[in-house]
Each structure stands twice: as structure tokens, then as C-alpha cells.
Amino acid sequence: MEKDIVPVAELDCIGLFCPIPIARTKEEIDKIEVGQILKVEADDPAAEEDIKRWAKRVGHEVVKLEKSGNVIVFWIKRKK
């Protein structure tokens, strides 16, 4: 499954801090179709919990999360 995760859009939030990564993620996920994947990169320490909580609250799914140094990469599946 993991190698089948292909994002249709990518969002770079490196250097941006709360609430900008969530606001931009919401804007971008609204542009893709249900079932598609948005890849988001962020380095805000709060982004990991903020984006996971936001996705769960609004009904999307974080299908993969990777950390490399201070960068967190999310693959978010649009569910509705």
C-alpha cells in the first residue's frame, strides 16, 4: 500500500508557523478530489499534532507521516 501513495498535489509549509500550515493545508485539500492525496511538508513543531487533529476533526485521513530532522511530511487523503 505504502508505495501506492501518490500525491496529486504538494504543499511546502517549511518556515511557516501556526496557524498558516493548517490554513494552507485546508485551502489545498479543497482543490483536490475525494480520494486523492495531498502531501504536506512542515517544520513547525506544532504542525504534527495540529494537522493530525485537524484532519481527524474534519474527516480526512493522514495515511502516512514521516519525520526527518525537524521536517514532518504528511500524506493526507481527502475523504469528503
Q: Annotated catalytic sites, by residue?
A: 18
| CA distance linking residue 72 with residue 62, whole number of Å | 12
DSSP 38-78: EEEEE--TTHHHHHHHHHHHHT-EEEEEEEETTEEEEEEE-
